[in-house]
Amino acid sequence: MSTGKILPRRLIGQTGIEVSCLGLGTVKFGRNTGVKYPQGFELPDDSDVQQILRLAHELGINLIDTAPAYGSSEERLGRLLEQRHDWVICTKVGEEFEQGNSSYDFSAAHVRASVERSLQRLHTDYLDLVLVHSDGKDMDIINNSDCFAELQRFRERGLIRAFGMSTKTAAGGIAALEHSDLVMVTYNPAEVAEKSVLDRAFQLNKGVLIKKALNSGHSIGAPAAEQNAAGMDPVQRSMEFIFSHPAVSAVIIGTINPLHIVHNVNAAAQASSPVS
């Protein structure tokens, strides 16, 4: 299975970390409850996960996104991810998902315990990117917790390479850029409320990862209508829209379907060009 395209790589702001412009999200590796996808799914077995990881690597993807809140995703990656140094691993702190419910803790003690646990689960001695997994109260987290200060200490110790925040508001994204290396924001043709975050990131030369690029799969629900309206399939349309902004470092797409991975890679490769 081949894409025939070269997947460009981009720098994450000033970190020196170079990532493929498309990253593989792994929530579907470890969690299928309390998610917002339009259709239910069964968790893949270990063989399927290995196949997906190998395919992603063959297609030029080096960025992988996980989180403690993604069920067993971290543990499975720790067991199944081959050649750790070929990958840029992004994980998160702040959100826990247990017995079907999320809970949040942004204290330094919890951040410390979460990072140490992720290092163990992922069978690695360093994490490339660590993001604060916001509960939506972005400004309160930034102003009234010491999570960034604790992540800064981990970076100084060499246990993480860069840190930032997965935000849910434009104000929070802009504020997070002032205190960290990167942000993860929602941005797609149907959701542009956080464009100001991208604009500010470009001014500051900070990294931007895009989540919900395909609106959690809802953007591909009516492809015929989208094709008629835009002259291209909805995945290509979203990629063209997102990569038209110069601040974007990478788009995170979560899928366990090999055909979708190939399609996404081709769309990203066509929409993106190297800027590092």
Per-residue pLDDT of 132-185, as tens digits, reads 999 999 999 999 999 999 999 999 999 999 999 999 999 999 999 999 999 999
**Overall number of domains in the chain:** 1
Q: CA torsion 213→260→12→244, rounded to 10°?
A: -50
**pLDDT tier for residue 229 given thresholds of 50, 70 and 90:** low
Look at 208 and 231; give whichever has higher pLDDT: 208
pLDDT digits (tens, 9 = 90+) for 99-108: 888 999 999 9
Reply yes or no on whether 37 is catalytic: no
Which residue, among 182, 183, 253, 244, has the nearest Cα to 16 in the 3D structure? Answer: 182
Look at 79 and 33; give whichever has higher pLDDT: 79
Look at 72 and 1; give whichever has higher pLDDT: 72
136: phi then psi, degrees, rounded to nearest 5: 110, -20
Beta strands in the chain (DSSP E): 9-11, 18-20, 22-25, 63-65, 88-93, 95-98, 101-104, 127-133, 160-166, 182-186, 207-211, 250-254
Domain assignment present for 6? no
Q: Which of 4-8, 70-74, 124-128 has the lowest mean pLDDT?
A: 4-8
Domain assignment present for 5? no
Contact 254, 28 (CB under 8 A): yes
At residue 207, the pLDDT reads 98
Domain assignment present for 112? yes
Domain assignment present for 2? no
Question: CATH code at 39?
Answer: 3.20.20.100
For tokens 């066509």, what's the residue? 270
Domain assignment present for 234? yes
Which of 37, 70, 104, 187 is flagged as catalytic? Answer: 70
At residue 39, the pLDDT reads 75
pLDDT over 60 (residue 238): yes
State the amino acid at position 52 in one-letter form: I
Q: Supply the pTM of this predicted model.
A: 0.91
**pLDDT tier for residue 221 given thresholds of 50, 70 and 90:** very low
The rounded distance, in Å, linking the Cα atoms of 67 and 97 is: 10
pLDDT over 80 (residue 226): no
**pLDDT tier for residue 230 given thresholds of 50, 70 and 90:** low
185 pairs with which residues across the strands?
210
Domain assignment present for 247? yes
Domain assignment present for 79? yes
Average pLDDT over residues 256-267: 95
Q: Provide, rounded to the nearest whole percent, the portion of the chain with pLDDT above 70.
A: 91
**pLDDT tier for residue 272 given thresholds of 50, 70 and 90:** confident
Domain assignment present for 266? yes
State the maximum Cα–Cα separation within the chain, in Å, rounded to a whole number.
Answer: 53
At residue 5, the pLDDT reads 59
CA 64 to chain centre: 7
β-strand pairing of 18-20 with 22-25: unpaired
Domain with 259, as residue range(s), is 11-271
At residue 223, the pLDDT reads 44
Mean pLDDT of the chain: 91
- In order, the DSSP letters of 103-126 are EE--SHHHHHHHHHHHHHHTT-S-
211 pairs with which residues across the strands?
186
